[in-house]
Chain A
């Protein structure tokens, strides 16, 4: 079975500091992994996705994530946080044998302090 665990429901960083949001997955086969961002009262927007090509994936707004099979992790990073990065972030995995099923983590709210 597939599942996604996001460590830390709330993360707070100072503006200009490194952003690190953690995601661990369980999957019996190489997964497709995704990071989404959600601003208040809006839908989810895709930040980036891993599709078994390069292990370091670059996304929008300066975010990137690295797929580490040995650690079953797909952590999201950004070198320098901006105030506009304050939002909720979701990690997700798609089922390997049913591409139409997605499993979402419980989300991490990022707070950026001035």
Chain B
């Protein structure tokens, strides 16, 4: 079955630590995204990548970093510079390029700072 896999589903981080959230897709999509979701605030775009080895900052990139070394993988690192990292993180992908299609989402990772 094609889809997007996020891991882990739950993640706990101590203050001052960096953590990396995994996102893998087997849909052969060019574009991938990371969103942050907080209660009552909808989805906010952190980073997106339209093609391998390229990515752009979204609306709330500060304190986050990404890489796109492989087409199927788009990991997100939450650094210690992110002041309030507790949130639900969603990874998504879409066909990309000149293909106009919908975004497909993973099941999310809930990050909690302890």
Contacts and interface: CB of A to CB of B under 8 A. Distances in A.
B68 to A, nearest CB: 13
Interface of A: 9, 32, 34, 36, 41-46, 49, 51, 90, 92, 94, 99-102, 104-107
B74 interface: no
Contacts, number: 59
Contact of A100 (B6, B31, B88): B31
Contact of B105 (A41, A43, A94): A43
Contact of A43 (B40, B95, B99, B107): B107
A51 to B, nearest CB: 7
B12 to A, nearest CB: 15
Interface residues of B, number: 30
Contacts of A42: 107-108
Nearest to B9: A41
Contacts of B48: 100-101
Nearest to A101: B48
